[in-house]
Amino acid sequence: MGFEHTSVMPKEVHAYQNLKPGDICVDCTLGGSGHALSTIKAILPHGMLIGIDQDMDAIVNAQKILSPFEQNIKLCHSNFANLPDILQTNNVKGVNSILLDLGFSFNQLVNGRRGFSFNKNEPLDMRMDIRTPLTASHVVNTYTEKNLVDIFFKFGEEKLSRKITRAILRKRAEAPIETSKELAQIIVDATPAKQAFKQKIHPATRVFQALRIEVNQELSQLETFMKEIPSMLVKGGRICIISFHSLEDRIVKHSLKKFENGCTCPREFPRCMCGFVPKIKLISKKPLLPTQAEIDANPMARSSKLRVAERI
Ligand SMILES: C[S@@+](CC[C@H](N)C(=O)[O-])C[C@H]1O[C@@H](n2cnc3c(N)ncnc32)[C@H](O)[C@@H]1O
């Protein structure tokens, strides 16, 4: 099946990247390469784009889509948390633009065959990088009751986490839960009809999000990455980050704010003792949101938020 690129907020990202010919840029989440394509066109003829994705399918797709620009690209099958090492290996001291478009891609959901969708009957895998050891099946079938409740509650903000966990435990005592459809049905059965009727989303949405976050260690990888932002950008270089749920956005917001504030001394201190100075400025104080027209055309954009900052 073909790879599609349904990039979120393409015009806004392009405008805020503020690119010019010759820039060195990183797309940390290639996905369908939609943003990457517009980035590379803006930095020709001598610019360079380092494209990263932890999913090999996205790298293979990028090799095809970006093949007319092969002189100007370097593709890395890696986690963006490794970006400082990737830059060092490529002898790059700082870049003009970094883009993160978090979460999973349309392709992973529709063609991934790894159980990302509760509408499909696929093996419960959910790894974006199939070289990593932890699968959704392992989580669902072996984690303790307490761990499952915590994960569903923390990463999925699922109010029925206890009830759903107990239903999972009952089923897995009979036989291992093997597929996405099987798990989705257990969640549907555990959701009171009244509650399911009130919800705008499928009852399995939150648990599936929680499992994906756990399997791919999404929040800790993002936290690791965010700590290094100032050291990876040249002065005037920009970072654009699109997040899709409040857990991601909170990490992005707080990390950027920390670098914007600089000093971390308690307010009562008469003068700064920590020596930290502001390293970035926020380009948009509030996150940018997609237009209603974009949400109508691409429902996956529904919950997206774009934050932009510049190295000073
Ligand atoms: C929303 S899609 C990106 C879509 C892309 N911007 C486009 O225009 O088509 C997210 C992609 O990021 C990748 N990804 C998510 N977390 C990652 C991480 N920590 N390191 C590397 N790639 C990651 C996923 O595998 C997926 O392909």
Cross-strand partners of 242: 101, 306
Per-residue tokens: 23:
């820039």
Cross-strand partners of 74: 50
206 Cα: distance to centroid of ligand 1 (angstroms):
20
State the Cα angle at 124 between 220 and 201, rounded to 5°. 75
Q: Which helix (H) or strand (E) holds 261?
A: helix 246-261
Spatial distance between the Cα atoms of 232 and 99, rounded to a whole number of angstroms: 12
Spatial distance between the Cα atoms of 211 and 179, rounded to a whole number of angstroms: 13
Please check the confidence at residue 111 and state whether its pLDDT lies above 70. Answer: yes
Q: What is the pLDDT of residues 1-54, one digit of tens each?
A: 445 557 999 999 999 999 999 999 999 999 999 999 999 999 999 999 999 999
Cross-strand partners of 193: none
| Confidence (pLDDT) at 1 | 42
Atom 3 of ligand 1: nearest residue by CA position: 31
Q: Return the best residue to mutate from 127, 128, 228, 300 for the ligand 1 pocket (most ligand atoms within 8 A of CB).
A: 128
Please check the confidence at residue 92 and state whether its pLDDT lies above 70. Answer: yes
Q: What is the pLDDT of residues 148-166, one digit of tens each?
A: 999 999 999 999 999 999 9
Q: Which one is predicted more confidently, 150 or 299?
A: 150
Per-residue tokens: 169:
């435990």
Please check the confidence at residue 275 and state whether its pLDDT lies above 50. Answer: yes
Domain locations along the chain: 10-107+219-311, 133-215
Q: What is the pLDDT of residues 56-69, one digit of tens each?
A: 999 999 999 999 99
Instruction: Check pocket membership of 32 for ligand 1, CB cut-off 6 A.
Output: yes
Spatial distance between the Cα atoms of 243 and 292, rounded to a whole number of angstroms: 17
CATH of domain 10-107+219-311: 3.40.50.150
**Distance linking the first and last C-alpha atoms of the chain:** 44
Spatial distance between the Cα atoms of 165 and 17, rounded to a whole number of angstroms: 43
| Confidence (pLDDT) at 105 | 92
**Percent composition of the chain: helix, strand, coil (DSSP 3-state, to 5):** 50, 15, 40
Fold of 133-215: DNA polymerase; domain 1 (1.10.150)
Spatial distance between the Cα atoms of 86 and 89, rounded to a whole number of angstroms: 5
Amino acid type, 224: T
Instruction: Check pocket membership of 112 for ligand 1, CB cut-off 6 A.
Output: no
Please check the confidence at residue 175 and state whether its pLDDT lies above 90. Answer: yes
Q: What is the pTM of this model?
A: 0.94
| Confidence (pLDDT) at 55 | 97
Spatial distance between the Cα atoms of 154 and 164, rounded to a whole number of angstroms: 14
Mean pLDDT of the chain: 95
Q: Name the nearest CA neighbour of 248 among 280, 279, 209.
A: 209
Nearest ligand 1 atom to the CA of 99 is 6
Amino acid type, 141: N
| Confidence (pLDDT) at 285 | 87
Strand duo 305-311 + 280-282: pairing? antiparallel
Q: What is the average per-residue pLDDT within 63-88?
A: 98
Report whether the peptide linkage leading into residue 84 is cis, meaning its omega lies within 30 degrees of zero. no
State the Cα angle at 76 between 72 and 79, rounded to 5°. 140
Instruction: Check pocket membership of 128 for ligand 1, CB cut-off 6 A.
Output: yes
Q: Name the nearest CA neighbour of 89 among 127, 50, 53.
A: 50
